[in-house]
Amino acid sequence: MRYINNKLRIENVGLDKIAKNYGTPSYVYSYSQLKKNIIDFEKNFKSFSPLICFAIKSNTNVNLIKEIKKFGLGADVVSAGELMMALKAGINPKKIVFSGVGKTSKEIAYAIEKKILLINAESHSEINEIERIAKIKKKKVNIGIRLNPNTDAKTLSQISTGKKENKFGVNGKTFVELVKFCKKSNNIVLKCLSVHIGSQILDHKPYEKMLNILSKILNKIKYNFEYIDLGGGMGISYNNSDNKLNFEKYNIAIKKFLKKHQSKIIFEPGRSIIGNTGILLTKVVYIKNSERKNFIVLDSAMNDLIRPALYGAKHKILPFLKKRKNSNKIYEFVGPICETTDKFSTLKKFQELKEKDLIAICDVGAYGMSLSSNYNVRPKAIELLIKGTKIRVIRKRQNLKDLM
């Protein structure tokens, strides 16, 4: 995104043109940013060519997943719905891993039927269930076991997954027992050790710590895993003051790990692939002056983007037109939903705004649309993909009739 003649563009399309032709609120994605993210991700780890399984939960738009698939990526799924979506986008089942603590019997049966690469199990009960279903189907099923390495990812508590108090994975002791159990099974082939310690991780040290813990366990059990699935979690910079994850240091730590343990590495990135590719284009409906601040009431709300309300997440906000002076009022950007938490940001010295102005809420490509809802019977926004000067509708705006 850049300003040309003080007007904000995404690739070569002005946001005013998008609003005029497709309305607001709109999710707008940049193809070239997506391409750059995938190429950069691959470059960061090219010495060991990992299998990169895009975390579908971060963005479930089938047309975006189709674009991601064209670069050869696989998928990380957590439900039958996500698995079906990945297959619909044409992703090779041999590049799909299935994570999650509560896979139902139906979901396990579906995954077995589709011959996906791995079901990453998270408990003894789940392994029993996979074995039971595999036996009925007379199949041998490839699985992974998710280890909870009890590592603090130093991220928001709500999106931290690798500490012992979190519901994910099994502890080291159970892991060792489950490896023994799997060795004896006729219907389960244990191929993978998986971990995922959290999301929006900006410090490489928790990853180093996690790798050291894996190394210790592997030395102890002496089992040769074909795959080590390190999950996702690589953070992005949501504002200019965020640190950046040092991919080089993470890469060095993995290379060191691979000298001792020869396995194929799998990653499950979501945010680092899709996060900074999308904006939420929205319009100022009203400006409401109060004593202490001005409420900028937008036509988008927490049903469109819930991250600020749910996690206190901060998304940069940019005006479409950049030519007025800064306001000396505090601006509070809010949606029309009947909850006080329906608020995107409170900013000082934002440029003066007027009713009907367009603004962009940035870096919403990950966990934006995928976490949206119809709360207050509000239709979901349209999704558009920009490639150079071309605008493609990749998901239609819902209309009210769909919701009745």
The catalytic site residues sit at: 338
In DSSP terms, 346 is beta-bridged to 332
Q: Which is nearer to ligand LLP, 202 or 234 (CB)?
A: 234
Of 334, 362, 364, which Cα lies nearest the Cα of 347?
A: 334
* The token pair that represents 211 in the structure block: 């790798």
Which range in 183-191, 267-275, 289-297, 391-399 contacts ligand LLP by CB under 6 A? 267-275
Does 37 bind ligand LLP (CB under 6 A)? Our answer is: no
CB-wise, 25 or 270, nearer to ligand LLP? 270
Paired strand residues for 153: none
Question: Which pairing describes strands 358-361 and 293-298: parallel, antiparallel, or unpaired?
Answer: unpaired
Binding status of residue 162 toward ligand LLP by CB under 6 A = no
Match 């946001």 to its residue by tokens: 15
Find how far residue 142's CA is from the centre of its chain. Answer: 25
- Which range touches ligand LLP (CB under 6 A), out of 66-74, 270-278, 292-300, 330-338? 270-278
Q: Which range binds ligand LLP by CB under 6 A, 2-10, 265-273, 324-332, 348-356?
A: 265-273
Shortest Å, Cβ 147 to ligand LLP: 12
Strand partners, 392: 385
User: What x-and-dash track marks residues 223-252 binding ligand LLP by CB under 6 A?
Assistant: --------xxxx------------------
Options 82, 122, 208, 268; binder of ligand LLP; rule CB under 6 A: 268
Binding mask 309-338 for ligand LLP (x = CB under 6 A): --x---------------------------
269 forms part of the interface with ligand LLP (CB under 6 A): yes
The answer to whether residue 62 forms part of the interface with ligand LLP (CB under 6 A) is no
Among 204, 307, 380, 395, which residue sits at the site for ligand LLP (rule: CB under 6 A)? 307
Query: Residue 84: which residues within 8 A CB-CB, separation 6 or more?
Result: none
Q: How far is CA 90 from CA 42, 61, 274, in A?
A: 20, 13, 18
Beta-carbon contacts of 384 under 8 Å, excluding residues fewer than 6 positions away, are 18, 22, 26, 27, 28, 29, 391, 392, 393, 394
The nearer residue to ligand LLP, 22 or 267, going by C-beta atoms, is 267
Residue 289 CB burial class (10 angstroms; 0-12, 13-18, ≥19): exposed
Considering only residues 15, 34, 52, 55, which one is a binding residue for ligand LLP as defined by CB under 6 A?
Answer: 55
Cα separation, 96 vs 117, in Å, equals 5
DSSP percent split of the chain into helix, strand, coil, nearest 5: 35, 25, 40
Rule CB under 6 A: choose which of 60, 200, 276, 282 binds ligand LLP.
Answer: 200
Nearer to ligand LLP, 50 or 269 (CB): 269
Task: Please give the residue ranges that form the binding site for ligand LLP (CB under 6 A).
Answer: 55, 58, 76, 99, 159, 196, 199-200, 231-234, 268-272, 307, 311, 366-367, 371
